[in-house]
Amino acid sequence: MPECPHSVSKIDRNVLGREQERQRSRKPRELAAVARLRPTHSPQPRRPQHGRAGGSAPEAAPGSSMLRQLRSVLPAAALRDPPLPCAFSRPSPMGATAYDVGSSTNIKWHEGGVERASKHRLLGQRGVVLWFTGLSGSGKSTVACTLEHALREGGRFTALLDGDNVRHGLNSNLGFSPQDREENIRRIGEVAKLFSENGVITLVSFISPYRRDRDAVRARLPPGDFVEVFMKVPIELCEERDPKGLYKKARAGQIKGFTGIDAPYEEPPSPELTIQARDGAGAHVPPQAMAQQILTFLHEKGYLTAGSS
């Protein structure tokens, strides 16, 4: 299977196009005006004027001219006086001023002042985590990348989190023991949650072999925010593809704990989407057709419009 085919010509653009024209017709004048703003106050404070009758007029507070410009271009509700505060909306039990979470102590949850629904309206979509799971070589990254290109063509904002890429940075200190695999999924699950909470369609491509780890991520998200995409491709086909040569090394004993060979993969019992490599007639299903299935699901479930949150 080719890596990340950029061509989405075979994907039905009508699925995305229904809202695309509406999005293009929007003119975010307020945002454009804010982008053009420049501070106008002098970087150096002026010296007081001596010897004038009545003294000098009080200087404006730094940034006051910027605030006046903002008030001239933003709706009144966007600059309340005083502004809407960010709140600690999850009080500590028994009236305490702090509480513990895991190994962290003396912390509180700080609720942001911008509602999630307003971010959805800004982006014209709903945040969601698309969790691609399956054996190595099942096409997770290829289909996720193809889908991301299709979503971009439709004007949707996305983030793609790939298992190999994340291990170059955030998870570079983790190996492939069961404990490290669990922590690998926990970390990326939290990252994906942060993206989706801010309205981003988040594509996560991880083998994630253990059901309990995937379920733990699902449990951290609100209902409907976690969509499990099971790449149901038999190991024989994955091994035939072997794009990284890992199956060959695992069979030769050069890699230990390889999923599908000497480490288990637990199939999801009821994923939202099951993608298969061959159709009912036994013909090969290309990545574009697989991405089309997911795109249709997103459209039908209302993720491609702001909707109600």
The catalytic site residues sit at: 208
Q: Which residues contact 200 (CB under 8 A, 6 or more apart)?
A: 123, 127, 157, 158, 159
DSSP assignment string, 270-298: S-SEEEESB-TTSPBPPHHHHHHHHHHHH
Type of residue at 135: L
Nearest to 130 by CA among 294, 270, 306, 304: 294
Q: Which two tokens stand for residue 1?
A: 């299977």
Residue 288 exposure: Cα atoms within 13 Å on the Cβ side: 9
Distance CA 150, CA 140 (A): 15
Distance CA 136, CA 240 (A): 11
Backbone angles phi, psi at 101, to 5 degrees: -135, 115
Identify the DSSP state of 107: E
CB atoms within 10 A of CB 224: 13
Nearest to 191 by CA among 164, 213, 148, 220: 220
Distance CA 203, CA 191 (A): 11
Nearest to 202 by CA among 292, 130, 133: 130
Q: Which pairing describes strands 273-276 and 226-232: parallel, antiparallel, or unpaired?
A: parallel
Q: Which two tokens stand for residue 46?
A: 């002026």
> Over the range 186-209, which residues count as b (16 or more CB within 10 Å of their CB) and which as e?
eebbebbbebbbbbbbbbbbbbbb
Q: Which two tokens stand for residue 82?
A: 């005083």
